[in-house]
């Protein structure tokens, strides 16, 4: 392989001396030219071919080399490259090759020009000697056949979905689905302790009708802890302001063919050894339910819980990123504010760092009360985890409109926190060093009292299941005024027991959220799906019994 500017200056000088000696004064000259080809030519290459693949057969050119020659290669030089080999500085071989992996669905053909130039000593400049216009066709490949067949699941097998995803190397960490498919992007994060080579990895975008596959180029490596942003628009374009984070290392992969569907979709990440992660608004044809995330358009979504499967609603929170690529300084303070090229900002009260302030933060701080030293639970940074930190979080929670979803949170704990808060009422307001905002003990006490009212209901009750009618899953909520052994039994219309849940001894409290209510997937004790129709469910405690009915519609 030679340098793309091929010089024959030394050979020219040798020939010139020889002619002078033997007295030859008139020598014919042949201009450099392409051989065995006209002014146009065609070549083809299969889509998704590896970078550096030869595009069809090579071209040849010749010259007596009485002047230096060179090749020019305009048009689509961001997609193609070329190599030049020579034989005795007279015959040349020019091979076009790919610089990127081409996608038939994005562009099915390209036009490039090979221009042969000769240096004219008389005019002291380069001039064009010959050219070939080459049309390169990208042939379509059935990409669906390149991916493993998508798993199909019966209702009994869906619980085993976790075995397909490891969630321990690369995960989907953030995504943005634009309403016009421009500026769509997907962010991947290496959550392992080693560098990951993407050779042989595939990203699959699935809808109910199609499966599009992106094959990662060989040599794509993501270091431990770093992020890879896959986007469909050049980040250097004027309307794509992209800043570089000082706290994290970001890498960008631009692929014009990447676009998230406007309908429900599933993202799958496949390594040569297995399925790594999945994310999306549906799961392999499973009917939409509130448990599945519903990604809104023109909103960035941040993976708040890396250990939760990516199709689950609790795995994602809204990010502060909006509109194109860039950071929205006016985004609400309650958002995670995670954007491409920027670290996620810490929210006041977000003790566990999941991007939202909720009961989980309250429980974390409560578990560390009395500890000193640097700690995420020390919300106001005074050196000690104490009741003041609890009150800061209580203020950030706002009015509690639903039952707390953490089993570790008990009425007894909240009663103790209330007692401490009321003892410290004379010290209000609290000044936090994080945001210099003032928090009132009165507001914190009010929120804690709201939580206590939910955790300690005045009566025991069996509540209406939701959704109802349903297919095939539902949740059965209830509340206990006093601690008791609990059993819920499901009967068919003939009074035959279909399923029984022996829940053991449970403390007083509300069991209404999906994480605390009884979940039924519409199967009997043998894991067989039951038929459509009316069913009854009964709650039995030590001193209470009640029955309600529900309806399965298939």
Domain shared by 86 and 235, yes or no: no
Residue in 103, 300, 272, 123 with CA at minimum distance from that of residue 199: 272
Domain CATH for 48: 2.60.40.60
Domain shared by 450 and 494, yes or no: no
Domain shared by 131 and 175, yes or no: no
Domain shared by 451 and 496, yes or no: no
Contact 101, 83 (CB under 8 A): no
Contact 297, 262 (CB under 8 A): yes
CA–CA gap between residue 365 and residue 515 (Å, rounded): 21
Which of 425, 455, 485 corresponds to the end of one domain?
A: 455
Mean pLDDT (10-residue bins), the chain, 554 residues: 32 33 37 84 88 89 69 77 77 87 82 86 84 90 55 53 71 84 83 83 82 82 81 70 49 80 86 84 65 78 77 76 47 46 57 68 77 81 81 69 59 79 66 51 73 81 92 92 93 93 89 86 92 94 93 89
Query: Does 342 map to a domain?
Result: no
CA–CA gap between residue 398 and residue 375 (Å, rounded): 24
Q: Provide the pLDDT for residue 336.
A: 44
Domain shared by 443 and 473, yes or no: no
Which of 411, 429, 455 corresponds to the end of one domain?
A: 455
Which of 402, 437, 455 corresponds to the end of one domain?
A: 455
Domain shared by 91 and 174, yes or no: no
Query: Does 9 map to a domain?
Result: yes
How many other CB atoms sit within 10 Å of the CB of residue 403? 21
| Domain span at 497 | 461-552
Domain CATH for 535: 2.60.40.4070
Query: Does 513 map to a domain?
Result: yes
356: CB partners within 8 A, 6+ apart: 304, 317, 334, 336, 347, 350
- SS3 call for 330: coil
How many other CB atoms sit within 10 Å of the CB of residue 360? 19
Contact 88, 53 (CB under 8 A): no
Contact 393, 365 (CB under 8 A): yes
- SS3 call for 485: strand
Query: Does 346 map to a domain?
Result: no
Domain shared by 393 and 427, yes or no: yes
CA–CA gap between residue 420 and residue 418 (Å, rounded): 5
Number of domains the chain contains: 4
Q: Provide the pLDDT for residue 488.
A: 97
Contact 80, 99 (CB under 8 A): yes
What is the rounded end-to-end Cα distance, in angstroms, of the chain? Answer: 68
Contact 390, 381 (CB under 8 A): no
Q: Provide the pLDDT for residue 163.
A: 58
- Residues 521, 523, 525, 527, Cα dihedral to 10°: -100
Q: If you ran DSSP here, which 8-state letter would residue 446 be given?
A: H
Q: Provide the pLDDT for residue 288.
A: 61
Query: Does 350 map to a domain?
Result: no
Query: Does 82 map to a domain?
Result: yes
Contact 131, 112 (CB under 8 A): no
Domain shared by 186 and 277, yes or no: yes
User: Any idea how long the chain is?
Assistant: 554
Query: Does 521 map to a domain?
Result: yes
Domain CATH for 218: 2.60.40.1260
Contact 443, 349 (CB under 8 A): no
CA–CA gap between residue 137 and residue 142 (Å, rounded): 16
Cα-based distances in Å from 502 to 418, 455, 465, 505, 544: 33, 21, 18, 9, 15
Q: Provide the pLDDT for residue 460.
A: 94
Domain shared by 440 and 465, yes or no: no
Domain shared by 48 and 117, yes or no: yes
Domain shared by 382 and 520, yes or no: no
Domain shared by 401 and 469, yes or no: no
CA–CA gap between residue 423 and residue 383 (Å, rounded): 20
Query: Does 61 map to a domain?
Result: yes
Residue in 40, 43, 68 with CA at minimum distance from that of residue 53: 43
How many other CB atoms sit within 10 Å of the CB of residue 13? 10
């Amino acid at each position: 392989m030679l340098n793309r500017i091929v010089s024959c200056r030394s050979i020219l000088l040798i020939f010139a001396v020889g002619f002078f000696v033997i007295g030859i004064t008139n020598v014919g000259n042949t201009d450099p030219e392409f051989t065995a080809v006209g002014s146009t030519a065609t070549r083809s290459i299969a889509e998704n071919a590896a970078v550096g693949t030869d595009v069809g057969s090579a071209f040849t050119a010749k010259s007596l080399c009485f002047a230096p020659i060179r090749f020019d290669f305009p048009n689509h030089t961001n997609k193609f490259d070329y190599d030049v080999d020579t034989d005795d500085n007279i015959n040349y071989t020019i091979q076009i090759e790919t610089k990127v992996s081409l996608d038939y669905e994005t562009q099915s053909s390209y036009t490039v020009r090979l221009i042969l130039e000769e240096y004219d000593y008389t005019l002291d400049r380069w001039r064009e000697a010959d050219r070939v216009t080459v049309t390169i066709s990208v042939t379509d490949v059935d990409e669906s056949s390149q991916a493993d067949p998508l798993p199909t699941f019966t209702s009994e097998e869906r619980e085993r979905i976790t075995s397909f995803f490891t969630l321990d190397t690369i995960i989907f960490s953030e995504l943005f689905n634009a309403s016009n498919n421009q500026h769509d992007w997907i962010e991947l994060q290496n959550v392992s302790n080693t560098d990951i080579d993407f050779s042989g990895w595939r990203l699959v975008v699935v809808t109910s009708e199609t499966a599009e596959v992106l094959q990662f180029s060989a040599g794509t490596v993501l270091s431990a802890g770093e992020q890879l942003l896959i986007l469909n628009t050049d980040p250097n374009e004027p309307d794509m302001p992209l800043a570089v984070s000082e706290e994290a290392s970001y890498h960008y992969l631009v692929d014009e063919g990447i676009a998230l569907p406007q309908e429900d979709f599933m993202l799958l990440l496949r390594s040569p050894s297995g399925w790594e992660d999945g994310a999306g608004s549906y799961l392999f044809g499973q009917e939409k339910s509130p448990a599945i995330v519903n990604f809104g358009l023109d909103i960035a979504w941040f993976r708040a819980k890396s250990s939760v499967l990516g199709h689950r609603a609790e795995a994602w929170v809204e990010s502060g990123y909006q509109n194109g690529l860039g950071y929205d300084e006016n985004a609400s303070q309650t958002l995670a504010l995670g954007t491409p090229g920027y670290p996620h900002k810490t929210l006041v009260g977000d003790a566990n760092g999941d991007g939202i302030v909720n009961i989980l933060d309250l429980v974390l701080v409560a578990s560390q009360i009395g500890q000193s030293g640097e700690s995420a639970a020390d919300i106001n940074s005074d050196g000690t985890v104490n009741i003041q930190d609890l009150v800061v979080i209580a203020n950030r929670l706002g009015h509690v409109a639903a039952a707390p979803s953490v089993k570790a949170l008990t009425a007894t704990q909240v009663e103790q926190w209330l007692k401490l808060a009321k003892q410290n009422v004379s010290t209000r307001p609290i000044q936090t060093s994080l945001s210099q905002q003032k928090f009132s003990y009165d507001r914190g006490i009010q929120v804690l009292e709201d939580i206590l009212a939910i955790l300690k209901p005045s009566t025991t009750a069996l509540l209406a299941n939701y959704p109802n009618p349903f297919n095939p899953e539902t949740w059965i909520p209830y509340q206990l005024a006093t601690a008791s052994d609990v059993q819920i039994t499901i009967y068919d219309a003939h009074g035959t027991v279909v399923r029984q849940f022996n829940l053991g001894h449970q403390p007083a409290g509300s069991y209404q959220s999906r994480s605390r209510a009884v979940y039924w997937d519409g199967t009997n004790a043998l894991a067989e799906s039951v038929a459509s129709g009316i069913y009854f469910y009964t709650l039995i405690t030590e001193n209470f019994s009640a029955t309600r009915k529900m309806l399965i519609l298939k």
